[in-house]
Structure 1
Amino acid sequence: MKLYYSPGACSLSPHIALCEAGLPYDLVKVDLKAKKLENGDDYLKINPKGQVPALALDSGELVTEGPVIVQIIADQVAAKNLAPARDSAERYKLLEWLNFITGELHKNFSPLFNPAIPDEVKNFFKDRIMGKFKHADSQLAGRDYLMGKQFTVADGYLYTMLRWADGNKLDLSGLKNLMAYKDRVAARPTVQQALTREGLMKAA
């Protein structure tokens, strides 16, 4: 498999999933502004959406959209329980979390990365994001991870959003469950492996 990524972008989520799964993969860096690969190839010829992540499967098929990609990865190593079994009630709960993160957190961050958007508009979206993080904080009471004791692909996605919160100087210090959760996820060797490969932390 081949993961097209940009350091620290939402592609970090499937990158963490690949490390957790222990599957072999190649990592291809994308310049999202220029829509080019490091070798100069036109990324739009690979993924017309021009976004990351994109996962090239061994079959030759290209899959886009993070919540779908992480489930594909998880289902290849079902024994690792990165996603509950298909058609189970727990699987639908995972889908609920993935949809919440992608629709309510991820998309609300988008305006914060646009320099053309005025600060007062960005502040509106920051307030919305804080409300969504408060919901996540409430759901993490008494839990190690979003689904309970078991780390799943939804956790890699939420952790990526928490890194974005840091980058945008959102103060989440009052959300104690969420802060403990962030530290818990960050301490996982597989998460540190993904961060190191993307140049986001120094190798130990």
Structure 2
Amino acid sequence: MGRIENHKEDLVNQIAEHYSAILKLVGEDPEREGLRKTPVRAAKAILDITSGYRSEPLTIARQAIFEHAGSQMVIVKDIEFYSMCEHHILPFFGRVSIGYIPKGSMIGLSKLARIVDSFARRLQVQERLTSQICNLLDEAMPTDGVIVCCTGEHLCMKMRGVEKQDSATTTFDYSGRFAEEPTLREEFMRLLNC
């Protein structure tokens, strides 16, 4: 079963007009056979890619907070993400790993992936994406610390500019005991096999 699109037709048409104008400006004919439907398809795609603007990550998180008496580290590794660089409007993508130390509560694991998507599906920079995820989890529930590791590949470095094909960027943010105790950060890294 395919995904159901739920785009407002008026908004799609407005965006499509701009894509049609861009095609003309770069030297293409938006009326040629292969491009006739491209402005509408591109409009729907950009709405999907930026769907994070129409979601509320804190609400997502708070839908699945449960009591938990444990105090050991919880890690969800390798949550894939796709985003768009706000500087060039080119894709960047990769994986996010999140760890936290519960303090009387825990979050449903699928919500962590939804939170990542909510922030990633906006015009973004990787550094902000990493800190937004960390800060949101600190706000959404009581913890003894949160740590987020994000590794991404940026097409603005691979397709244009310096054109370095094998480059990747890793960013971290952390709070609570992860900020105070380097051994906890080291344990998180070891468990990620970094």
Question: Relative contact order, CA 8 A, sep 6+: which one is greater?
Answer: 1
TM-score, normalised to structure 2, is 0.28
- Which has the larger Rg? 2
